[in-house]
Amino acid sequence: MKRWRQRGMRPATESAPPIRTRRSLFRKYFIALFAAVVVPLLVNGASEAWFGYRDQRAQLDGLLGAEARSAAGKIGGFIDGIRDQLGWMVQLPWSAAAEERQRIDALRLLRQVPAIMSLTLVDGTGIERLHVSRVGLNRIGGGADRSGEPAVIGARAARAWYGPVTYYRGSEPFMTIAIAGNRAAVGVAVADINLKLIWDVVSAIRVGRSGQAFVLDRQGRLIAHPDISLVLRGADDASAKPLQELRAAILSAGGAATTGTDATGRTVVGAMASVPGVDWSVLVEQPLAEAFAPINAALWRTAALLLAGAALAAALAYWLARRASGPIRLLEQGVEQIGAGQFDHRIDMRTGDEFEHLASRFNEMAGELAVSQERSERINQLKRFLAPQVAELVGSGADSSLLDSQRREVVAVFCDLRGFTAFSAKAGPDEIMGVLGEYYEALGAILTRYGATQTSFLGDGMMLLMGAPLPCPDPALSAARMALEMQEAVQALIAGWRRRGYAIGFGMGLAQGEATIGRIGYEGRLDYTAIGSVVNLASRLCAAAKDGEILADATVAAAVRPLLAVEDLGTLPLKGVDDLQVYRIRESRAADADAIPPVPARAAS
């Protein structure tokens, strides 16, 4: 309470423990800023990844599909090449001279096309005319009737006939191709093809880095594979199972690229195309990891970018949050200092933004608080002699000239107790101070209410001014009424005191006139008072007044006469004053002056 009085403020140290808001503000800013950057980044990254994945997947499908078609084209080319070569053998009709020519052509054909293991030429009637073989014996004019063989019938019906794939000794894949000429007379060429030689073609097919192709016939038997031993294991070997399953998976997926396993158990993506004529399926496969490498790379790239973006966002958010919360912290510290009463503290902020504005506002506020405190102290000082409202008015500086020295028409009011000196001589200090306490308490309330200016305490009396420093509309009447109230209040006290045996009375004197008013004294101990004959006169009147009397000069009497009872007491010889007309003021119609017991005048006490 002491400091409150000293500072006029609640000090910060006594307020509730300061809440640590800096961190939470920082966190809020950080989270908000971070989220503002990262959320769109994440959404964008995720959608990009998703669409990228779909595009890449579609691209992969397309790519593998194209690879499959290309591979099928190459395998088809192998078969078509053989078919076209065979076509040469069935262009000219058989005649007696044709046999030798045909034999030479057939042998040359074998030399030219390594895949043909043997070649049989059948004439227009279905009779075998020539057979040449790589490992078996050649036959010329064999004469066997081959018109009933499926190859001959098939070729005659459709020009080209492709036999089923057979596995010689359960191992090597063979197939018969029969080609008929454009007329019956040229006959049919029937060739046994060693399909092992498709390896040349199939092993040259590369899909991506390590992808490969393989060929299945209609039944799903392996015809060609870069690992020739898979083919040589025959039609029913279990090692070809995954390849058949891959084909089934692709078929059930409607031809789209599908994931499966290859013969070695790798997970692959496969696509398929068919070879027309022979009705084979050419499948291309690429290891999943390799096929998805671009997709995975894109996903990793996106993830890395997201991570980098998030890191950048975090750094940015940290920086911004620091920027935002730093000044606030500085402001908080500044305000705390100012709050603690250091009104000379100034928040030093050069951020060039609203924070600097805010800081300068705080600084202005601190300045004004300093002014306000100064004023408050001044007002407290003024309240020592001015009525509170006057003190506020004067202290607020609305008219700082009010307290300046000037001559002014004022009413000086003096009052004091009669018989107090005798009382104080007999009574103990407690009694004396108790009486004075009651006395001044009673008077203080009244003179505050009337706005009287108290210039000084005179032990058991005091001097009051009405009409200074603030002018008063009717100072005499106000002063008179105040005096009546004071007299009444003190008389009530006197009644109590008398019961206790204290012979104390109370008299008052009022005078109106011009006086010089202003502050006298020295720094820290200034009084506001009036100097002039009117003061002396009022003092004399007070001294002359008996207990319960209020004496006034002519000016006051004239001013209050219409409203209050004024009794002319004639001229009284007052000390230092020539004969002066003196009036006693009483409540209107009050005629109980006699009821008041005579108390010795102050001069006599």
Partner 1 sequence: MRRRAFLAALGGALVGLPRSLPAQQVDRVRKIGILMPYPVGDPEVRARLAAFQDELRRLGWSTGINLRLDERWATDDLDRVRTASAELVRLEPDVIFFTGGRVTRIIQAETREIPTVFVGVSDPLGQGLVANLARPGGNLTGIANPEYTITAKLVEILKEMAPAVARIGIVMNPANPSTAFNRRQFEAAAPNLGIEPHFLPVQQPIDIERAFSAFARDQHGGLVFPSDLTVLAHRALVTALAARHRLPAVYSDRAMAIAGGLASYSADRREMFRQGAAYVDRILRGEKPGDLPVQQPTRYELVINTQAARALGIALPDVLLARADEVIE
The residues that touch partner 1, with contacts defined as CB under 8 A, are 104, 107-108, 110-111, 114, 133-138, 167, 169-172, 194, 196-197, 199-200, 203-204, 210, 212, 226-229, 232-234, 237, 264, 266, 287
Nearer residue to partner 1 within complex by CB, 81 or 136 = 136
CA–CA gap between residue 282 and residue 202 (Å, rounded): 9
Token pair of 529 as six digits? 């008072």
Nearer residue to partner 1 within complex by CB, 265 or 473 = 265
CA–CA gap between residue 418 and residue 528 (Å, rounded): 26
Q: Which residues pair with 122 in a beta bridge?
A: 128, 188
Work out how close the CB of 262 gets to partner 1 at its nearest, in angstroms, rounded to a whole number.
Answer: 9
Burial per residue of 581-598, b for 16 or more beta-carbon CB atoms within 10 angstroms, e otherwise: ebbbbbeeeeeeeeeeee
Tell me the backbone φ, ψ of residue 442, rounded to 5 degrees.
-65, -45
Work out how close the CB of 64 gets to partner 1 at its nearest, in angstroms, rounded to a whole number.
Answer: 17
Nearer residue to partner 1 within complex by CB, 118 or 176 = 118
Tell me the backbone φ, ψ of residue 267, rounded to 5 degrees.
-85, 125
The answer to whether 601 touches 543, Cβ cutoff 8 Å, is: yes
Work out how close the CB of 265 gets to partner 1 at its nearest, in angstroms, rounded to a whole number.
Answer: 10
The answer to whether 583 touches 556, Cβ cutoff 8 Å, is: yes
Nearer residue to partner 1 within complex by CB, 195 or 564 = 195
Work out how close the CB of 321 gets to partner 1 at its nearest, in angstroms, rounded to a whole number.
Answer: 52
Work out how close the CB of 114 gets to partner 1 at its nearest, in angstroms, rounded to a whole number.
Answer: 5
Distance of CA 211 to the CA centre of its chain: 52
**Quick one: 24 exposed, middle or buried, by C-beta within 10 A (0-12, 13-18, 19+)?**
exposed
Nearer residue to partner 1 within complex by CB, 265 or 570 = 265
Work out how close the CB of 173 gets to partner 1 at its nearest, in angstroms, rounded to a whole number.
Answer: 11
Nearer residue to partner 1 within complex by CB, 107 or 365 = 107
Q: Which residues pair with 391 in a beta bridge?
A: none
408: three-class secondary structure by DSSP: strand
143: left (phi over 0), alpha (psi -120 to 50) or beta: left
Work out how close the CB of 146 gets to partner 1 at its nearest, in angstroms, rounded to a whole number.
Answer: 19
Compute the residue count for the chain.
605
Nearer residue to partner 1 within complex by CB, 114 or 444 = 114
Work out how close the CB of 234 gets to partner 1 at its nearest, in angstroms, rounded to a whole number.
Answer: 4
Measure Cα distances from 274 to 66, 282, 482 in Å.
Answer: 12, 6, 126
